[in-house]
Amino acid sequence: MDYEAFFDSEIAGLHREGRYRVFTDLERQAGRFPYATHHSPAGQREVTVWCSNDYLGMGQHPVVVRAMHEAIERCGAGAGGTRNISGTNHYHVLLEQELADLHGKEAALIFSSGYVSNWAALGTLGARLPGCVIFSDEGNHASMIEGIRSSRAERQIFRHNDPEDLNRKLSLIEPGRAKLVAFESVYSMDGDIAPIDEICDVAEAHGALTYLDEVHAVGLYGVRGGGISERMGLAHRLDVIEGTLGKAFAVHGGYITGSSRLCDFVRSFASGFIFTTSLPPAVAAGAAASIRHLKESGVERARHQERVARVRQALDAADIPTLANRSHIVPVMVGDPVLCKAISDSLLDEFGIYVQPINYPTVPRGTERLRITPSPLHSNADIDHLVEALSTIWRRIGLHRQAAE
C-alpha cells in the first residue's frame, strides 16, 4: 500500500469539504487575556480572542499563576510517576478534597483531562457493571461516546434533552440489569441546558445511575461554581458529576466526583487512571487555587453573565443570527463550512479578531458556526469591535449574494 498517497487523499477530502483544520498559532500573555499574539508567516500581531474556553480568564489570574509558581518551587516540574507508583503528590490529594467539597460528594478522582475522565470512568463502569446498558443523550461529547464504546456495554441513545424518550427506552430493559444515564448539563456547541431534574426523576424510577458532564458549567454556575447541578440544588441526585480543570478553572485535567465506593471502584479498575503519569503538582496546585477562588468569589461569574448578555444584545441589534440559549455560549450561525472558514479568516486578517470556525463533525453539517465565548475581561470596546467587524462581513456577504443572483 502507498501509505503517503492514502494520507494525502484523505486530507484532500477534508480540504474539498472545507473542513480541514488550521491551527491558529497564539502566544497567550500572563495578565493580558483576552489579547494574545498571533504568529503567522506574515509576522506577529496582537489579536482579541473570542473563542477561548478559559471562560473567566482564570488562566491569567494572579492567584492561579502564583499557586503554580509556588508549587514548582516546592516540588519541581513533574509528578514522578503514576498515582500508584510514587506519583501521588500531596497537591493531588488536596485537589481531590477540594473537588469533592465543590460538588458535595464523598470523594473525587482526577484524570489527565476531562476527555480521559469520561472515557475512563464510563469505559470502566460500562464494562464492569453486570449486563450494563448505558443510556446516552444524542448530543453527548465525543469523550463520552468513546468511553461508552470502549466499555462494550449495550448502548441506547435517547433524544437530546428528552426525558420522555429516555423513559420509553429505559422501560424496555429488564429491571434486573445495571443501567447508567449519561448526559451533559450545558451542551458545548448549542449552549442549551439539560432538564437535570426530570432526567433524574426518570433514572431514579428505573434504578439507573446518573452520570452528568458539567465540563461547560463548573466554575460558571452555582453560588460556589459547582455547576448547573449546584444552581438547581440537584447535586445530591447525581451519582457522578464529571468536570474539567481546563475551562473555567483554566489549568488542565479532568475529574469525577461521587461516593467513596464508586470513586474507589473507578480508581481500582480504570486503566486510563492507573497506567498513566499523574498531573504535574503545579497543575494540581493551580487548579485547586482556581477552584478555591471561584468558590468564594462570585465577581467573575456575575461579570461573565453581564458580558454575555451585552454581546447577545449587540449581535441581535446588528441582526447577526445567533442560536438562542440560556448559557454563556453564543453560537453565531453560518450554515456552510467554506463560508464559516472565510468569515473566520476575515475576522482574523482584517480585524485582528480570532474566532475559530466550528464545522462537521463537531456540529451537524449545515449548522456550521462561529462559537463566541465572551469573558469578564472583554471590554465594551472589544464587544463593539467584534459586532462592527461581523456586521461589515455580513453586509459584504449579502452584497456577494445579490451580485450572484
Compare residues 143 and 373 and give the one whose CB is closer to ligand PMP: 143
Cβ of residue 186: shortest distance to ligand PMP, in angstroms? 8
Residues 95-114 that bind ligand PMP (CB under 6 A): 113-114
Cβ of residue 88: shortest distance to ligand PMP, in angstroms? 20
Q: Is 148 helix (H, G, I), strand (E, B) or coil?
A: helix
Q: Based on the residue annotation, tell me whether 169 is a catalytic residue of this protein.
A: no
CA distance 128 to 156: 17
Is residue 304 a contact residue for ligand PMP (CB under 6 A)? no
Cβ of residue 105: shortest distance to ligand PMP, in angstroms? 18
Given 48, 136, 143, 151, the residue binding ligand PMP (CB under 6 A)? 143
Cβ of residue 214: shortest distance to ligand PMP, in angstroms? 9
Given 102, 181, 215, 217, the residue binding ligand PMP (CB under 6 A)? 215
For residue 280, the cross-strand partners are none
Angle at 218 between CA 215 and CA 220, to 5 degrees: 120
Q: Which three cell numbers stand for residue 392?
A: 461589515
Q: Considering only CA atoms, which of 219, 224, 125 is closest in space to residue 180?
A: 125
Is residue 188 a contact residue for ligand PMP (CB under 6 A)? yes
Is residue 356 a contact residue for ligand PMP (CB under 6 A)? no
Is residue 141 a contact residue for ligand PMP (CB under 6 A)? yes
Given 48, 60, 118, 185, the residue binding ligand PMP (CB under 6 A)? 118
Is residue 246 a contact residue for ligand PMP (CB under 6 A)? yes
Is residue 290 a contact residue for ligand PMP (CB under 6 A)? no
Cis before 361? omega within 30: yes
Place of cell 484532500: 12
Residue nearest to ligand PMP (CB): 114
Is residue 115 a contact residue for ligand PMP (CB under 6 A)? yes
Is residue 184 a contact residue for ligand PMP (CB under 6 A)? yes
Residues 6+ apart with CB under 8 A from 8: none
**By CB under 6 A, which span of 213-221, 317-325, 334-342, 365-373 interacts with ligand PMP?**
213-221
CA distances from 249 to 63, 79, 109, 216 (A): 12, 20, 16, 10
CA distance 226 to 61: 19
CA distance 186 to 220: 11
Q: Considering only CA atoms, which of 128, 89, 93 is closest in space to residue 109?
A: 93
Catalytic entry in 105, 169, 179, 247 = 247
Buried b vs exposed e over 14-41: b needs ≥16 C-beta within 10 Å? eeeebbeeeebeeeeeeeebbbbebeee
**Which sequence positions are flagged as catalytic?**
247
Binding residues for ligand PMP (CB under 6 A): 113-115, 118, 141, 143, 184, 188, 213, 215-216, 244, 246, 254
